[in-house]
C-alpha cells in the first residue's frame, strides 16, 4: 500500500513539473489535490450525502483534466502503473464527467492540446 502512495506522489510531482503543462493549470491541480486531502472541506463530511459531494466534484475535476483535457502522451509519460490501470482509471474518469460542467473546464484550464 505504501508503494501505491509513493507512486501516486511521484506521479503528481512529475506531472506538476512537466513544462508542457501551463503553470496556472499546475497550480489549480495542486490546490485541488490539497483541498481533497485536507481535513477541511467546503461541505463538512458529517452532513449525509452532501458532505462527500464536494470531494467527488473535486476528484471529478482533477480526473477530467488528466483524462480529457490533457494529451494522453503527457499523462502516459508520467503514469507509473500499467495500461490496464490506465484504461480502468480513464473509464472511471469518463463516468465522473457528469459532475464537471463544461463552463467550469473553460474557466479553469489554459492547456491546449496538440491538434494532431
Whether residue 31 contacts residue 62, with contact meaning beta carbons closer than 8 Å, is answered with no
What is the structure's pLDDT at 116? 63
pLDDT in the model for residue 2: 78
Model confidence, pTM: 0.85
Cβ contacts of residue 36 below 8 Å, gap of 6+? 55, 58, 59, 62
CA distance readout (Å), 36 to 23, 69, 112, 113: 20, 20, 25, 26
Please compute, for residue 62, the number of CA atoms within 13 A of its CA located in the half-sphere on the CB side: 22
- What is the pLDDT, as a whole number, of residue 13? 86
pLDDT along the chain (116 residues), means of 10: 87 88 90 84 82 86 90 92 94 91 87 75
Q: What pLDDT does residue 115 have?
A: 66
Amino acid at each position: 500500500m505504501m508503494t501505491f502512495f509513493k507512486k501516486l506522489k511521484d506521479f503528481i510531482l512529475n506531472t506538476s513539473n512537466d513544462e508542457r503543462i501551463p503553470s496556472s493549470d499546475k497550480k489549480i491541480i495542486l490546490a485541488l489535490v490539497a483541498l481533497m486531502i485536507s481535513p477541511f472541506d467546503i461541505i463538512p463530511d458529517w452532513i449525509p450525502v452532501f458532505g462527500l459531494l464536494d470531494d467527488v466534484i473535486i476528484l471529478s475535476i482533477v480526473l477530467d483534466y488528466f483524462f480529457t483535457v490533457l494529451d494522453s502522451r503527457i499523462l502516459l509519460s508520467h503514469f507509473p502503473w500499467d495500461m490496464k490501470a490506465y484504461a480502468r482509471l480513464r473509464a472511471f474518469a469518463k463516468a465522473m464527467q457528469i459532475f464537471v460542467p463544461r463552463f467550469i473546464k473553460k474557466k479553469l484550464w489554459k492547456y491546449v492540446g496538440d491538434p494532431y
